[in-house]
């Protein structure tokens, strides 16, 4: 159950936006889709099996076709290779993401973000978010998690400990801020993906930024469909990720394109420690923190 909960949380929007932080975007609609996703993803009993139709009964004189494995060897091998690559101790990653959903009038909206993610396993991460709903930074240094809103010059800090997923769970609960893609930094990201898979297979191959990639599809017990493009080699570095919520109206989705993966020399502690500038205000870790609206009129 812990693994499934982590997977469900991993792909939610990075931040609960608000009208104050996003004058050009319908903040109520953005908040609506976040709430819908959270509520729907709690209904784990409503798993969906995708891609399997009832087959006609074979005639007696026909040989019985071989049974296809629910998780193909190609998918299992590629995800296992990716898992080993993601266990690198020091990583710097950049990504572009899009959240796609229907607004209250039924029109599709697209919310864009860019991210820079710096990781030192097992217990350090820093993320810079910049998107249609504003900017904020997330830090975890092994002792505390902090969220900083440069535009409003506010920040909040909570005690946190443990590995990266544990600290991010604390930040989501107490700072009301989520980090999509956190599943990639679990202790065993390949096991997280495969343990939640009802079925997985390789759709085909595609060239992304000049690199040949395997296109993989996963139907998950947690009620989501997941597509993953990884390099067609022993590293299986991720290049693209698409998560679709087929049980929700309009089938909202989350798209991430990874623009770089760099294995770094040992990163210093300063990369993950938040030092508040002199002119910023510390605020209480409440839901208003994540929206960056506390103190605004």
Domains of the chain: residue spans and CATH: 2-45+69-274 (2.50.20.10)
pLDDT score of 249: 87
Q: Give the DSSP H or E segment for 90.
A: strand 90-102
pLDDT score of 63: 53
* pLDDT per position as a tens digit, 80-101: 999 999 999 999 999 999 999 8
* pLDDT per position as a tens digit, 142-179: 999 999 999 999 999 999 999 998 999 999 889 888 78
How far apart are the two ends of the chain, measured CA to CA in Å?
42
Task: Provide mean pLDDT across the span 6-35.
Answer: 39
* pLDDT per position as a tens digit, 224-278: 999 999 999 999 999 999 999 999 888 999 999 999 999 878 899 999 999 999 9
pLDDT score of 180: 75
Task: Provide mean pLDDT across the span 280-296.
Answer: 63
pTM of the model: 0.74
Task: Provide mean pLDDT across the span 174-198.
Answer: 88
How far apart are alpha carbons 187 and 40 in whole angstroms?
Answer: 26
Greater pLDDT, 19 or 238: 238
In terms of Cα–Cα distance, which of 44, 53, 60 is closest to 8?
44
How far apart are alpha carbons 200 and 243 in whole angstroms?
Answer: 14
Greater pLDDT, 297 or 292: 292
pLDDT score of 286: 63
- H helix runs in the chain, sequence order: 2-10, 27-41, 73-86, 164-174, 189-195, 287-291
How far apart are alpha carbons 9 and 66 in whole angstroms?
Answer: 37
Contacts of 280 (CB under 8 A, 6+ apart): 148, 153, 154, 155
């Amino acid at each position: 159950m812990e693994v499934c909960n982590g997977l469900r949380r991993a792909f939610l929007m990075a931040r609960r936006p608000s009208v104050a932080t996003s004058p050009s975007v319908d903040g109520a609609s953005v908040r609506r889709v976040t709430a819908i996703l959270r509520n729907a993803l709690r209904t784990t009993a409503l798993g969906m099996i995708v891609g399997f139709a009832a087959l006609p009964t074979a005639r007696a004189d026909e040989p019985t076709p071989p049974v296809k494995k629910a998780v193909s060897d190609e998918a299992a091998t590629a995800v296992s290779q990716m898992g080993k690559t993601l266990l690198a101790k020091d990583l710097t990653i950049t990504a572009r993401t899009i959240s796609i959903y229907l607004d209250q009038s039924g029109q599709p909206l697209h919310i864009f973000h860019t991210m820079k993610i710096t990781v030192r396993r097992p217990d350090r991460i820093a993320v810079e978010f910049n998107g249609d709903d504003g900017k904020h930074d997330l830090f975890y240094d092994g002792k505390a998690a902090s969220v900083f809103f440069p535009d409003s010059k506010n920040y909040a800090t909570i005690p946190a400990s443990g590995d990266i997923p544990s600290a991010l769970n604390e930040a989501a609960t107490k700072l009301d801020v989520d980090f999509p893609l956190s599943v990639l930094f679990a202790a065993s990201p390949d096991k997280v993906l495969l343990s939640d898979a009802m079925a997985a297979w390789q759709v085909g191959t595609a060239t992304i930024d000049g690199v040949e990639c395997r296109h993989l599809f996963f139907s998950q017990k947690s009620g989501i469909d997941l597509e993953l493009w990884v390099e067609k080699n022993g590293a299986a570095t991720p290049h693209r990720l698409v998560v679709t919520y087929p049980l929700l109206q309009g089938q909202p989705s989350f798209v991430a394109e990874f623009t770089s993966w760099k294995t770094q020399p040992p990163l210093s502690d300063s990369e993950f420690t938040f030092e508040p500038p002199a002119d910023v205000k510390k605020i209480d870790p409440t839901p208003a923190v994540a929206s960056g609206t506390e103190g605004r009129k």
